[in-house]
Structure 1
Amino acid sequence: MSKKKPLSQGQLRRMRANHEKRLQRGNSDKNLPELQDNSLGPEQAGVVISRFGQHADIETADGQTVRCNIRRTIKGLVTGDKVIVRLALEQQSGIGGIVEAVHPRTSSLTRPDLYDGVKVIAANIDQILIVSSVLPSFTTQIIDRYLVAAEDTGIPPVIILNKIDLLNPDEADEIAAALQRYEDIGYKVFKVSSKSGDGLDAIKGLLKDKVSVFAGQSGVGKSSMINALLPDAELLVGDVSDNSGLGQHTTTTAKLLHLPSGGDLIDSPGVREFALWHLPAQRVGWCFIEFREFLGTCKFRDCKHGDDPGCALQEALKAGKITEDRFNNYHKIIASLDEQRHARYFRAATDEQ
């Protein structure tokens, strides 16, 4: 395969110019008048339920949800942030208060962004529920990509196989063996059907007293599962196309939802697809948790873990200490990184021309 051409100086200039245009558009609503201090009540605690430009829906300790302005000094407020707010003594134009400050985050869910580098999309999350399903077809390669992204954030991942009511007996043993491999290296695995309700009680127990986020491809049933756990969520559910087998993405803005059985869910379009192009190859390897004890022990420091002599990962594979499936998926992810980076940067350079 021929090497991708580097970006020209002209493309880089256009990319920077497009970046500035986006920043200017993003700042256009910062000139909106803010509530005056003498019209606000005392400071109180709140949590961001959802974010809309320079406004955010804040839930206060007494359970009311108020749309608030955000102080211009606050950068990067996201769903799940714990904040200090002051509510208006009298509501003005639908705005009921101002977010004054943000507490330090215990965790940040991030994704790479062409213009902003690594972008935070949700905060203070206790676990990431990686949802796979029987339809679209089950694949460990997608699960491993999500696991890498989850490990990179430091937020514990849990694997969920949805739509088990559609499981074909011919593929049941193969899928069970694949899931067992994840359990063997320490990941929790659950099997559910949001349609029949099988396994949902176990998920309720998993979610209790925690802030969780669902991750997974379109069509795996994330919204259907949320609706089964919280019928009042009124989330749209996208059907899987009969022709393509691909799901239609339906969630449009991140929302924090309270579960009647305990715990909170953050439903966000930002985790529909975890891109990995911002990660160096060494970091990807570290995110395969069973590889960690072997990394750095290869004969050569620049070992690519292919047919390199003295490769510790190859030796671990032969000894049965790591599985062939995970080892192959690691190399597929590594092989995709350069192509993804080029595609992203080329799009940034040619966007809006």
Structure 2
Amino acid sequence: MTKKKHLTQRQHDRIAKNEQRRLQRSDKKASVVWDDQLLHAPEPGLVISRFGQHVDVEDNQGQIIRCNMRRTISSVVTGDKVSWCRSKQPTGSIDGVIEAVEERSSVLLRPDFYDGLKPVAANIDLMIIVSAILPALSLNIIDRYLVAAEMTGIKPLLVINKADLLDSTAQNALEQQLELYRQLDYPCLLVSARSGQGMTALLQYIHSGTSIFVGQSGVGKSSLMNNLMPELAAATQEVSAISGLGQHTTTVSRLYHLPNGGELIDSPGIREFALWHLSAEEVTQGFIEFRPWLGRCKFRDCKHISDPGCAIQHAVAEGAIRPERYDSYLKILTSMAQDKPNHF
């Protein structure tokens, strides 16, 4: 596992500021002023899901209680471990308040055009990057998630869903594409939520720790959840026959306990995972095969695009770095410059 990359203080400040702004905007009428005399002593809890200013917290007995947050808390997301107080007079509505959030071992951030960096989930051990042959498989989007995984220190697993739709020729072509990632020691699985292909192997990866499903809309994350947890009956939708784009089925991140151990977070589907909150140097570090060549360029400020004496371009020419990955790297750098909001 790669060494965890820490966020800069500037990024931490942006996250806190943006999250506080969202809290101030959302459902102010639902705010509750708690009398400490009406609360039990603090106890540990696990955040199952977040709805505006309301948070579903699971106690040590597995009971889920909906809570408010103290105004001093700037950020709470699914997967957070918290200290909370239970109301002495439960009403079946809002029956507790979160007092503090424990330090996170990891946090997955999703850039939001209006709010900057938006935390999605915390304390994740495995990022399951779900893709599918429908909509069309995009290696560039996979590479975006891999950069995000490298920058947060979360171990990635590539999962290609809907494998039952492949004929032998298409499957051979797909295997050749995935070999690129296997050579970089990224594990890959071909699965089918419909037929059950590869699901046993997937369970072996997620039977312990906390995992999260990420990926474009329509790749079948909710269908995979249904296969892993039949009693869940999460809503699923078919890919739009007109646009070819996926339909959003999950609206908030939520944590589920798997029957045979392990926790799984289902996150809202997104059609493109932007990386404009990262620097060009961080994206370069996110391509792990580039790392041995860093610091070997002719010029210290080499941009690795058209600079003379670039070690990375030399590695591509020599076959040490696959041209598909280098092209994907260039596309990401271009999109970062185009997508970055002016106010960020």
- Give the TM-score, by structure 1 length: 0.86
Match of 1:81 in 2: 80
Q: Distance in 2 between matches of 1:23 and 1:208?
A: 34
Moved more, 241-250 or 202-211: 241-250
Unaligned ranges ≥5, structure 1: 1-18
Q: Distance in 1 between matches of 2:212 and 2:114?
A: 24
For residues 82-121 of structure 1, the aligned pairs below 5 Å read 82-92=81-91, 94-121=93-120
Unaligned ranges ≥5, structure 2: 1-17
CA deviation string 1:13-71 (max 9, x = no partner): xxxxxx9xx65851652773333222222221110011122221100001100011111
Q: Distance in 2 between matches of 1:273 and 1:333?
A: 11
Secondary structure (helix, strand or coil) at the match of 1:41 reads coil
Q: Distance in 2 between matches of 1:157 and 1:280?
A: 21
For residues 20-35 of structure 1, the aligned pairs below 5 Å read 26=25, 29=28, 32-35=31-34
Match of 2:241 in 1: 242
Q: Distance in 2 between matches of 1:50 and 1:23?
A: 16
- Indicate if the aligned counterparts of 1:129 and 1:158 stay in contact, CA closer than 8 A: yes
Q: Which amino acid aligns with 1:257?
A: Y
Q: Distance in 1 between matches of 2:133 and 2:70?
A: 46
1:340 and 2:322 equivalent?
A: no
Q: Which amino acid aligns with 1:54?
A: Q
- Give the TM-score, by structure 2 length: 0.89
- Indicate if the aligned counterparts of 1:217 and 1:272 stay in contact, CA closer than 8 A: yes
1:222 and 2:216 equivalent?
A: no
Q: Distance in 1 between matches of 2:231 and 2:34?
A: 33
For residues 1-353 of structure 1, the aligned pairs below 5 Å read 26=25, 29=28, 32-92=31-91, 94-269=93-268, 273-341=272-340, 344-345=341-342
Secondary structure (helix, strand or coil) at the match of 1:242 reads coil
CA pair 33-136 structure 1, distance change in 2 beyond 3 A = closer
Q: Distance in 2 between matches of 1:157 and 1:138?
A: 17
Q: Distance in 2 between matches of 1:141 and 1:226?
A: 25
Secondary structure (helix, strand or coil) at the match of 2:278 reads coil
Q: Distance in 1 between matches of 2:23 and 2:258?
A: 38
Identity %: 49
Q: Which amino acid aligns with 1:323?
A: R
Match of 1:3 in 2: none
Aligned-residue offset at 1:167? 1.0
RMSD over equivalenced CA pairs, Å? 2.1
Poorly superposed stretches of 4+, deviation over 6 Å: none
Match of 2:9 in 1: none
Aligned-residue offset at 1:274? 2.1
Q: Distance in 2 between matches of 1:160 and 1:142?
A: 13
Moved more, 316-325 or 32-41: 32-41
Aligned-residue offset at 1:176? 0.5
What number of residue pairs does the alignment pair up? 325
- Indicate if the aligned counterparts of 1:30 and 1:54 stay in contact, CA closer than 8 A: no
Q: Distance in 1 between matches of 2:30 and 2:225?
A: 37
CA pair 212-272 structure 1, distance change in 2 beyond 3 A = farther
Q: Distance in 2 between matches of 1:313 and 1:185?
A: 16
CA pair 297-30 structure 1, distance change in 2 beyond 3 A = farther
Q: Distance in 2 between matches of 1:178 and 1:25?
A: 46
